[in-house]
Amino acid sequence: MQSFDTVILGGGPGGTTAARILAQAGKSVALVENTHLGGTCLNCGCIPTKMLLGAVAPLALLHAQQRTRVAKGEIAVDFAALQTRVSRFTSGTSKTLGKSLASMGVTI
């Protein structure tokens, strides 16, 4: 059985930040997370939502230009490709976060 100075429950922004600070202070830290590092914000909340909204926001501007007859044509969003992009970003960021914490000596 391994012993730690601190055990943190939850690998969201608060937990990962606390783990990083404690590890930098020389404490032995265990971080307990049952799904993905980064928490709701990174994996299914803020970040994916902002990526999806940011990708489709220009459509409204283009449609407005089309209504004033300044622009014409068809623009379509490939939602499958967009979802793949979001998924790759969130999973890559979560993995990078895990590697960063592990390199600091945090046990996940």
Give the pLDDT of residue 95.
Answer: 96
pLDDT one digit per residue (tens) for the chain, 108 residues: 899 999 999 999 999 999 999 999 999 999 999 988 999 999 999 999 999 999 999 988 888 888 898 888 888 899 999 999 999 999 999 999 999 999 999 999
How is domain 6-103 classified at the CATH fold level?
A: FAD/NAD(P)-binding domain (3.50.50)
The two three-digit tokens of residue 41, written as one number:
């914000």
DSSP string, 26-84: T--EEEE-SS-TTHHHHHTSHHHHHHHHHHHHHHHHHHHHHHTTS--S-----HHHHHH
The model's pTM is 0.82
Give the pLDDT of residue 70.
Answer: 85
The two three-digit tokens of residue 98, written as one number:
């895990």
Give the pLDDT of residue 11.
Answer: 96
